Amino acid sequence: MIDDIISILRKRRVALGLTQSAVAESAGNSQNYYSKIEQGKLDPRLSTLQDVARALSLEVMLVPRELVDTVNALAGRGAAPEERPLFSAEPD
């Protein structure tokens, strides 16, 4: 699970054209510390993940397990094209 989160953070940072230093500074961490997060060399605290996510205009949320498939389908993740919503706030 943490590997999935790290992958999402890394992809978002790259998509936004941000450096590790910029994200780290915005999240209140050093570039070295953030680099270790992206490399999977440390297990960050939830509060750190929240700070990093917010620096990337993301939000960490807890979703009841029985609703995970529904949330993923609404977000268009992991769903076949015919199962995705007809609209999305984010471009594909």
Name the class of domain 2-55: mainly alpha
Residue 88 CA to residue 75 CA, distance in Å, equals 7
8 Å CB contact between 34 and 23: yes
Per-residue pLDDT of the chain (92 residues; tens, 9 = 90+): 788 899 999 999 999 999 999 999 999 999 999 999 999 999 999 999 999 999 999 988 888 989 888 888 787 766 555 555 545 555 55
Q: How many CB atoms are located within 10 Å of the residue 31 CB?
A: 14
| Domain spans, the chain | 2-55, 63-92
pTM of the model: 0.74
